[in-house]
Structure 1
Amino acid sequence: MVEVKLHDIGEGMTEGEIIHYFVKVGDRVKVDQPLVEVQTDKMVAELPSPASGKVKEIVVDYGTTVSVGTTLLVLEAEETKEAKELMEMKLEETAPLEKDIPTTQPQPTKQAKGKEEKQFIIAAPYTRKIAREFQVDINEISGTGINGRITVEDIYNFVKKRDLVQSSKEMKAISAESIEQIKKPNVDNRGREVRNEKETKGEEIPFRGRRKQIAKKMTQSLYTIPHVTHFEEADLTDLLAYRMDLKEIGIHVSAVAFFIKAIAVALKQFPVFNAKLDEENEVIRLEKEYNIGIATDTEDGLIVPIIHHADQLTVRQIHDKLKELTKKAQENQLTPADLKGGTFTISNVGPLGSIGATPIINYPETGLIAFHKTKKMPVVVENDEIAIRSIMTMSMAFDHRVADGATAVAFTNRFKQLIENPKLWPIELT
């Protein structure tokens, strides 16, 4: 027998919600065939089968949140030599520490009788997310995509038909007497209107998954790190003009791509902000890689995908990677590799209209810069003349245990120098 357990599929993961099983008891499965879909604090992930065989038991029902190390289902594995070797390798990868295994297991799931399910459902995680939001059983839908893949349009069409049928049934069920009763207010013996509990009770939002993990990490950061926020302004007039020149010759590069590249260059000169404090061993570890996290707003909450080795990428390559990661974040398709190894984080909130903030550091990093709204304003330039310039505000939060205010000012000044002077880029941003 092989126990398939919830293992750590993302950095810092401690628990996950079981949102869908691809198999049922009695199904035969192959090695690496998807068995279960799990919602972690950062992504939706599919857990593959570590061996070929038959599903003997499903231990945890879908909709349950369990900790890492919990047994989800049990396989009766085939005793072939190849399968045995692969199974041992898989179990070594997924085996949790004994202390992480719960002392009690959830009750086995009850299998629905008389209802056949598709054994293989082809649908992207984002499509499954839409289905869950509309409370749609994806097994009831016939996919119109390639090889029967279920698309988002299939979900919407199914919901439209379902709602039409439901509305028709409800209209037939409502009698003239019930309609009249609805019009009459419910009153007590003194003639005062009495409202039912549903009318007075506020809406409830589940506090779990990504939102719960965000809360834990923000609390850990705020109560562990003595935050200091340094505010600064940068003149983007020349940068924006340079971007327009590039656009005219067919090159589209976002301003944020230049920001990321400039930060990578500045971090090499001020490596203390590309560091992590190890209090236990009493050392500040200066990271060798420059991996910039991009704070990204999604429907499920804040998430920080990583642009790895930003110092080795061109501005255009950073722009392309930024677009790719943002799209994957919005569609809930980020992989563990997309979220690991960050050394410094940026937050571009200017497009939302922000003019300032005191951001919370992405623990255990040392610094974070937030870019706020860019607006045109009169500025005193050379010879005391007044000119209209495009000024962006920014705020940098840093760990005062690791760095001091003067170092933070020097770091942001270097960053400003790079983004305010396009003439430096052929020399500096390579």
Structure 2
Amino acid sequence: MIDVKLHDIGEGMTEGEVIHYLVKVGDKVQTDQPLVEVQTDKMVAELTSPCTGIVKEIQIAVGETVKVGTSLLSLESAGGDHSQKSQPVKDLIKENGSSNPSKIEENSVEFTYKRVLATPYTRKIAREHNINLEDIIPSDPSGRITEEDVISFLDNTNKKIEPKQLIAEKLNAPSHSEEIPYRGIRKKIAENMKKSLFTIPHVTHFDEVNMTNLLEMKEQLKAAGNSISVPAFLLKALVISLKDFPIFNAELDEENSRILLKKTYHIGLATNTENGLIVPVLHDADKKSLKQINHEIKDLTQKALAGSLHLSAMQNSTITISNVGPLGSIAATPIINFPETALIAFHKTKKRPIVNENDEIVIGHIMTLSMSFDHRVADGATAIAFSNRFSSLIENPHKLILEMI
């Protein structure tokens, strides 16, 4: 008998919540087949089978939070670990040219395994309504099944349920409140925010940036066949500014009485997802072109929203940005992503009457930014100088281009 235990998936995690079993007692499983989904502090992770065999016992119930090292389920090995005697399933999948094989035979042990792409919340809706996700045709080209796909499937089977009803299902009971579990990513966010606020003396600097010239350049590039998003320009200008003011790309090491000025530029991208705030990291931003940065921002954001980020994509950030303008935000006092020194939020860009260099009143596109920084590490005057440098690059995009040459 082989026990499948919760192991340390990364960053010294100590516990995890069992959110869904992908198998049941009696199922035949293959080496490397996903068995159970576990919610850690930062992500939903799959634990896979160490061998070919049969599920004999599920030891931990869904919803329970357990420590690392706890046995979750047990397997009866089918004559030992077949991964040593034959090709792994993932290699057979590649040879067959399919990511969803319907049947694979290995050493005369047959198993049927089809992994459906879907977020934990989507799976939860499907489970609550006894829907097999394999019966749903995904609308997303990537093959991922969305919440809308599940709702549409319900509609087509005469089980009409509106999205708001799905959210409010548990309110049908005679109660004036609803319980939301305080655990997983939400609990970890709270712990990090509390640690940041109680450790770092926050100061927030506000500024306005004239985006007019940058937006014009963006449209010119688009007309020439080069579509670059505004966040890509902002991130590039940020990296250039950090090189001039490295104190904001730093970490305070109080124990050893020193400030570590980082020589790498790993930019955290605060992303709001249905599972909470996730911060994927764009690594080595100083070494990448505008096109590369533009592509990586989109890729990391999509993976964060889909819950498919690898742990390595959420590590080692040196400063974090939060692009909340598209949500309608006009100002905020952001909390620093501990142990970093600063966090910059980019807010809504508005059309406003402004006075140009010729004393003419014209319409400009003005964005507000808010920058919270650690007052133990930097002073207000330095933050203002940093903000001025950043604004100068954005308001005069030809300077930004020259800095990249």
Corresponding residue number in structure 2 for 1:291: 266
Which residue is equivalent to 2:89? none
**Cα separation, 2, equivalents of 1:316 and 1:142:** 39
Cα distance, 1:137 vs structure 2 = 4.1
Matches within 5 A, 1:256-275: 256-275=231-250
SS of corresponding position for 2:178: coil
Deviation readout 1:50-86 (Å, 9 max, x if unpaired): 33444343221222222333221233445469759xx
Moved over 6 A (4+): none
Q: What residue in structure 1 maps to residue 116 of structure 2?
A: 123
Corresponding residue number in structure 2 for 1:132: 124
TM-aligned CA distance change 1:138 to 1:341, over 3 Å = farther
Q: How does 1:68-147 map to 2 (within 5 A)?
A: 68-77=68-77, 78-79=79-80, 83=84, 120-126=113-119, 129-134=121-126, 135-137=128-130, 139=132, 142=135
Q: Normalized against structure 1, the TM-score is what?
A: 0.76
Alignment of 1:366-405 (within 5 A): 366-405=341-380
Q: Mark the CA change 1:133 to 1:231 in structure 2 (over 3 Å): closer, same or farther.
A: same
Q: Deviations over 1:10-47 (max 9, x none)?
A: 54644322122223334443332212112234332211
Aligned 1:227-306 pairs, distance under 5 A: 227-306=202-281
- Asked if 1:417 is matched to 2:379, the reply is no
Aligned Cα RMSD in Å?
2.9
- Correspondence for 1:159: 154
Structure 1 pair 133–76 and aligned structure 2 pair: CA distance change class (3 A): same
2:306 maps to 1:331: yes
Report the TM-score, using the length of structure 2 for normalisation: 0.80
Q: Distance in 2 between matches of 1:82 and 1:388?
A: 67
Greater Cα shift, 197-206 or 291-300 = 197-206
Amino acid at match of 1:294: L
**Secondary structure of the residue that 2:255 maps to in structure 1?**
coil
Unaligned stretches of 5+ residues in structure 2: 86-110, 162-170
Letter in 1 for 2:45: A
How many positions carry a matched residue from both structures?
364
Displacement of 1:298 in angstroms is: 1.6
Q: How far did 1:210 drift?
A: 1.7
Report the structure number with the largest CA radius of gyration.
1
Letter in 2 for 1:159: L
Q: 1:379 to 1:6 in 2, by over 3 A?
A: same
Instruction: Tell me, in whole angstroms, the C-alpha distance in 1 between the residues paired with 2:195 and 2:275.
Output: 20
Residue 264 and residue 197 in structure 1: after superposition, are their counterparts in 2 closer, same or farther (change >3 A)?
closer
Change (3 A) 1:386 1:11: farther
Instruction: Give the deviation of 1:224 after TM superposition.
Output: 1.1
Determine the structure 1 residue equivalent to 2:40: 40
For residues 394 and 320 of structure 1, the distance between their equivalents in structure 2, rounded to whole angstroms, comes to 23
Contact kept in structure 1, 2:136 and 2:153, CA below 8 Å:
no
- Asked whether the equivalents of residues 228 and 397 of structure 1 are also in contact (C-alpha less than 8 Å), the reply is yes
Residue 315 (str. 1) matches residue 308 (str. 2):
no
Cα pair 1:51 1:83 within 8 Å, conserved = no
- For residues 158 and 348 of structure 1, what CA distance do their matches in structure 2 show? 34
Report the Cα offset of residue 123 of structure 1. 0.3
SS at 2:72 equivalent? strand
Shift of 1:389: 2.0
Q: Give the CA deviation at 1:337.
A: 1.9
Structure 1 stretches lacking a partner, 5+ long: 85-117, 167-195
| Matching residue's letter, 2:386 | F
Identity %: 55
